[in-house]
Structure formats: C-alpha cells, structure tokens
Amino acid sequence: DPFKSDPERDSSLMVRSSRPCNAETPASELGTFITPAEKFYVRNHLWVPDVGDAEDHRLTIELIDGEEVTYSVADLRKNFREYNITATLQCSGNRRAHMTAGSRPTNGLQWQIGAISTATWTGVRLRDVLAHAGVDLNEPDEDIKHAQFVGAEAYGASISFDKAIDRHGDVMLVYAMNGQALPRDHGYPLRVLVPGHVAARSVKWLNKVILSGDESTSQWQKRDYKCFGPNVASHNVNWDDAPAIQETPVQSAITGVRQVKGDRLRDSDLARVYGLEEESVVLEGYAFAGGGREIIRVDVSPDNGKTWWQAQLLPHDKDVHDDNQKAWAWKQWRLALPTHALHEHFCVKAVDESYNSQPEQFDAFYNFRGNLANGWHRVPVSSRS
Ligand code: MTE
Ligand code: MO
C-alpha cells in the first residue's frame, strides 16, 4: 500500500478523494490572506513519497550536455541567497464543479472554490542555482528551451527556460512554508515554486531539474492540463493541438455572505467605508490573476449581473511585496450592500492590470477536462447567513 505513509491531515479540509489525497481549503479559511499550512489545499496525483531525512535528499541538475550537478538541501541553504516570496497556488481545476453545473460534465475532481491557497515560501532562486551549476544566464545555450522538474513519486512537469531564469520570475526551490519546514503534503523537503503559473508546474518532492530542448513528457504536461474548444471531447481530442497551461487567467470567488443588522453597522468600519446605515449584507472573497498581473478591480452584482458595485480591495499584499515585485498573491476583497438591492444571485468578476476579466457563462469556453473554470462566480442571494 503506497499510501500507508501518507501524513495525517487537518479535519477541516474538504476531502474530494482520499487515495490519493485531494482536499480543498474550507471557505472559512479562504478569507485570510495567508493560508495556515495545515489548511492549505492538497492536490496529490499519487502517494506522498517517504523521502526520509532532508539531509539525505539530493537535487540533481542535468545540464543540456548531459552533465549532472548535485546539491543537498543544506548546500542550497548555505551557498545561495535566501528569499521569501508570498505567492498563491491555484490548481487548474479550481471551480471545475461550477463549469460542470453551468454547462456539462467535465473529467476530474469536482473542486468548488477551495483549490487555491496562499503562503510565504522560503528558498533560493532557481536561476542562482542554475548559474552555479554552470549555466551562462547572459548567453545561455540556445538549445535550452524548457526546464523539466521531476518529483520523487513520478510526477513531472516543465516550464519555459525563460521563466526559469527570469530575474523577475521568482522561480524558487523552496524548503519552508509560512516560516516552518515544508509539510510532507506540500513537498518536504524541497519543491519548486513557479509563481503566477498554474500550480501543476510547482513540482513537489523535487529530485531533478533537467534543462532540455523539450517539454516534460509526463501526461500532466502533454495532456491533462490543456484547454480545448467546447466541441472537443476525449474521443476526438488531439492532445498536441493545444499548449500546456502555464500562466493562468483571472479568477475570483465569493467566500462569505453575512447579514449585518443596522445597529451593528453604525459605528463600524464598514459604515465608514460604505456610508451604510441600513440593514446590509457583507460579501467577502478572493481575486487572483496569473503571470504576476495585479488585480485592479473586483465588481460585484447583487442582482444577477444587472447592476454592479465595486468591492474594496484589502491591502494585505502591500506588506509582503516590494515595489519591483510582481503580484504573485491573491487579493482579498469585501463589500457591503443594502439588502433592498438584492435580487436572485450575487455575481463576482475581477479585472487584472491588463484589463483581462472573466467570462459570464461557462458554455462558450467549456473544455472537457474542466480546466481554468473562471466564469463569474454566482451565489444565491438566499445563501446569506
Ligand atoms: N508535485 C508532485 N510531485 N506530485 C503531484 O501530485 N501536484 C501538482 C503540483 N505539484 C503534484 C505536484 C498539482 S496539479 C497542484 S495543483 C499542486 O502541486 C498542489 O500543491 P499543494 O498540494 O501544495 O497545494
Ligand atoms: Mo492542480
């Protein structure tokens, strides 16, 4: 039984499958900027490999000429500058259940809104390690097109070599999460962090980095994490017709809806921000875009998309990102609405700094794998508590 050494998990995670473990962060935890490590969603394709002690773990870098250079985790810590990067990871299947409900059945785990979480990751830059291993970052060998990552249990994926060495790309080899050693579920003792890309590229239990002219040949690179047109299905798909998903589009969700009485509101923060005195509903949620593109606006409708209000973007991310750094983390938002404005469904959509937004319906961009399900998130007005 390869699963017998899987770790214990927090009982509040919402389990979608237990072997392998796939579990989402509960909605109650999606409203905080940093997700506690034990509440961070878990997406495992296989078992959690027992890699023993961090001291015995080795990372091998295979250069384009086949030469190999090997590092222990202690070597990485000792020889390279350490960085802390706060970044959101989102599974490409996040909100797949909404695509299924809004259009047609999709293949894969039926995630709701919780296959996304944010942590502060500590480690070293992949580009620094590659330079040390012998890669000329200024004039790299032109045959190198991809950086492939191999996990200890057999999972693998790749990113472009450009992203791997981009000085503003912040691709990291990480050994700590929220100030603690990486938990086993999240890649102990070493994982890749590819900020702004779909989380499938942030390979856990990292054994090997291969610089290559080719992408990873794994099914997770060549097949599963791609989007095809709405007419394509498993019987007529040509897997090579679409590129692997790397940077991800704009996403947002409503994580909480609370009724607030007028008298509770009067002297509150919400009253000052929104000038509301009457009975209100407070909505909270997250918004995120890939590629380091900042979320600049979150629009909320109280009446199924007829009228729109602008949510307040909470400023947490300002504490963790310096001016030169891209927006790798989600934004939390909130909005108070007077109850008389409500009708049928709340909807949310976000806008990123390139003015990309989210599609209204799922039918037009349905894909049979249910990837990148970012249609407007709708919640019945009747769900408020
Ligand atoms: N790395 C390995 N080795 N094995 C895996 O199954 N799953 C990938 C990625 N890296 C995976 C992996 C996918 S699809 C996702 S969404 C993220 O890890 C999930 O990371 P998390 O479990 O830390 O949230
Ligand atoms: Mo994923």
End residue of a domain, out of 177, 211, 241: 241
| pLDDT of amino acid 320 | 78
End residue of a domain, out of 197, 217, 241: 241
> Going by CA atoms, what residue is nearest to atom 10 of ligand 1?
203
| pLDDT of amino acid 266 | 63
- Per the domain annotation, does 344 fall within a domain? yes
Q: Are residues 168 and 298 in the same domain?
A: no
**CB neighbour list of residue 367: distance below 8 Å, 6 or more residues apart:** 106, 227, 228, 229, 230, 232
**Does pLDDT of 271 surpass 90?**
no
Q: Are residues 298 and 343 in the same domain?
A: yes
Q: How far is the CA of 207 from the centre of ligand 2 (A)?
A: 19
Q: Are residues 121 and 183 in the same domain?
A: yes
> Going by CA atoms, what residue is nearest to atom 19 of ligand 1?
43
Q: How far is the CA of 377 from the centre of ligand 2 (A)?
A: 20
Q: Using CA atoms, how far apart are residues 313 and 292, in angstroms rounded to an integer?
A: 17
Q: Are residues 288 and 327 in the same domain?
A: yes
Residue with the two structure tokens 């970052």: 137
Question: What mean pLDDT do residues 132-149 have?
Answer: 98
Q: Are residues 119 and 66 in the same domain?
A: yes
| pLDDT of amino acid 276 | 67
- 189-240 pLDDT, tens per residue? 999 999 999 999 999 999 999 999 999 999 999 999 999 999 999 999 999 9
Candidates 14, 204, 225: which one to mutate for ligand 1, based on the most atoms within 8 Å of Cβ?
A: 204
| pLDDT of amino acid 190 | 98
The C-alpha angle 99, 86, 80, rounded to 5 degrees, equals: 130
Residue with the two structure tokens 């900020």: 195
| pLDDT of amino acid 317 | 73
End residue of a domain, out of 186, 208, 241: 241
- 171-189 pLDDT, tens per residue? 999 999 999 999 999 999 9
% pLDDT > 70, the chain: 96
Structural domain of residue 204, as residue ranges? 14-241
**CB neighbour list of residue 272: distance below 8 Å, 6 or more residues apart:** none
Instruction: Kindly identify the ligand whose nearest atom is closest to the C-alpha of 40.
Output: 1
**Does pLDDT of 299 surpass 80?**
yes
| pLDDT of amino acid 263 | 65
CATH (domain of 338): 2.60.40.650
**Domain tally, the chain:** 2
CATH (domain of 187): 3.90.420.10
> Going by CA atoms, what residue is nearest to atom 21 of ligand 1?
42
| 3-state secondary structure labels for all residues of the chain | CCCCCCCCCCCCCEEEECCCCEEECCHHHCCCCCCCHHHCCEECCCCCCCCCCHHHCEEEEECCCCCEEEEEHHHHHHHCCEEEEEEEEECCCCCHHHHHHHCCCCCCCCCCCCCEEEEEEEEEEHHHHHHHHCCCCCCCCCCCCEEEEEECCCCEEEEEHHHHHCCCCCCEEEEEECCEECCHHHCCCCEEECCCECHHHCCCCEEEEEEECCCCCCHHHHCCCCCCCCCCCCCCCCHHHCCCCCECCCEEEEEEEEEECHHHHCCCHHHHHHCCCCCEEEEEEEEECCCCCCEEEEEEECCCCCCCEECEECCCHHHHCCCCCCCCCCEEEEEEEEHHHCCCEEEEEEEECCCCCCCCCCHHHCCCCCCCCCCCEEEEHHHCC
Question: What mean pLDDT do residues 355-374 have?
Answer: 98
Q: How far is the CA of 71 from the centre of ligand 2 (A)?
A: 27
**Token pair for residue 88?**
């959101």
Partners of 192 in beta bridges? 173
Atom in ligand 1 nearest the alpha carbon of residue 151: 3
With a Cβ cut-off of 6 Å, ligand 1 is lined by 40-45, 89, 91, 151, 153, 155, 185-186, 199-200, 202-205
State whether ipTM is beyond 0.90: yes
Q: Are residues 237 and 301 in the same domain?
A: no
Instruction: Kindly identify the ligand whose nearest atom is closest to the C-alpha of 46.
Output: 1
Distance of CA 146 to the CA centre of its chain: 21
Q: Are residues 140 and 223 in the same domain?
A: yes
pTM: 0.96
Q: Are residues 257 and 158 in the same domain?
A: no
Question: What mean pLDDT do residues 1-23 have?
Answer: 97
Atom in ligand 1 nearest the alpha carbon of residue 44: 6
Mean pLDDT (the chain) is: 95
- 85-134 pLDDT, tens per residue? 999 999 999 999 999 999 999 999 999 999 999 999 999 999 999 999 99
Instruction: Kindly identify the ligand whose nearest atom is closest to the C-alpha of 45.
Output: 1
Q: Are residues 359 and 269 in the same domain?
A: yes
Q: Are residues 228 and 267 in the same domain?
A: no
**Token pair for residue 153?**
């249990």
Query: How many CB atoms neighbour CB 246 within 10 A?
Result: 19
**Does pLDDT of 371 surpass 90?**
yes
